[in-house]
Structure 1
């Protein structure tokens, strides 16, 4: 079995035409956007690698369900989803299209893993206090599109952060400028 790496990302917003102007992204069309994100994802993620997606995987889930499934099938790795606000219906339930995708485990509101010798707390929304914070755990989040700075050992891992460059990143890449003991 090959060496398995873990990657983190958020806010891909596949199929979300308005993201091109709401959160300026450098693409002429949503098709160009989606193709670029798929290419960037697959440039680093291997088939056996793990990818934690911290929400807002796709938009237009009713209208473009087949396209969302097609995009998902093109992305390498074993994928886990932490639900974001665009992954749920108006009642807060996971959208049927999201649930129909072959995630490694059912999508959840939070997820925990260990990486870099630390406990990692994963959520779509930034938290100012998180589990095991006083014991050195790390908190990765999305949603804020770079408009909310991390505090302590927390940070936004969204695709539109300057240091992620639309690419899933490893724990080491995301924490390289931190003083971790």
Structure 2
């Protein structure tokens, strides 16, 4: 099965609490990290694929290698193969470290890397998977799945925020637990619900 998610921001202590631009009500990053890991693995199997659309983690140490090792250790606890799209907080040095320590899952690399995005086809629709939202205009069979903007939503049905703290998650019932990647069937449900909600506003 294939899943998609974005903006896990592992180790990002500035997001803790409720008084910031993307509040996460966890007492510490260890609790936040473990919550995401547990919720992810409750849904994703070892043989699944997860498209992660950027901002994996935000963690700086000296030497930097220690932060890369810590992020690698977390990612190795996540089920599935990870297709990683580079976000604005993902350094090339981190990607190089992950690539140097890559390993095989079902004959495929655990980590695959994409600088800009991925184009996928699903049930007669095209998905552009990017970190930043893209303005596609009127394109009924093309949808941009993205992250980056956290609790904001682009007010068009062609842009779906799939980040762990995206408002679009509220279109799903029950709403996924924090950090849970979503399926493409759930993406289609979000598109339908968002389309209906936008129509009511006009």
Q: TM-score, normalised by structure 2?
A: 0.76
* CA distance in structure 2 between the aligned counterparts of 1:118 and 1:97, rounded to whole angstroms: 32
Structure with bigger gyration radius: 2
5 Å-filtered alignment, 1:130-145, equals 134=139, 136-145=141-150
**Greater Cα shift, 42-51 or 101-110:** 101-110
Hey, what does 2:95 align to over in structure 1? 98
* CA distance in structure 2 between the aligned counterparts of 1:156 and 1:178, rounded to whole angstroms: 10
Q: Which structure is higher in strand share? A: 2
Hey, what does 2:67 align to over in structure 1? 64
Q: Find 2:163's aligned residue among 158, 171, 174.
A: 158
The 3 A distance-change label for structure 1 pair 175 and 147 is same
User: Any stretches of 5+ residues in structure 1 without a counterpart?
Assistant: 89-93
Deviation >6 Å, runs of 4+: none
RMSD between aligned residues: 2.0
Q: Which structure is higher in helix share? A: 2
5 Å-filtered alignment, 1:86-125, equals 86-88=89-91, 94=92, 96-101=93-98, 102=102, 103-125=110-132
* Contact residue 9 and residue 51 of structure 1 kept, 8 A: yes
* CA distance in structure 2 between the aligned counterparts of 1:11 and 1:117, rounded to whole angstroms: 27
Cα displacement string for residues 134-170 of structure 1 (whole angstroms, at most 9, x for unaligned residues): 3612210000002132513221000012524321001
The DSSP-based 3-state class of the residue aligned with 2:16 is helix
User: Any stretches of 5+ residues in structure 2 without a counterpart?
Assistant: 103-109, 170-175, 196-202
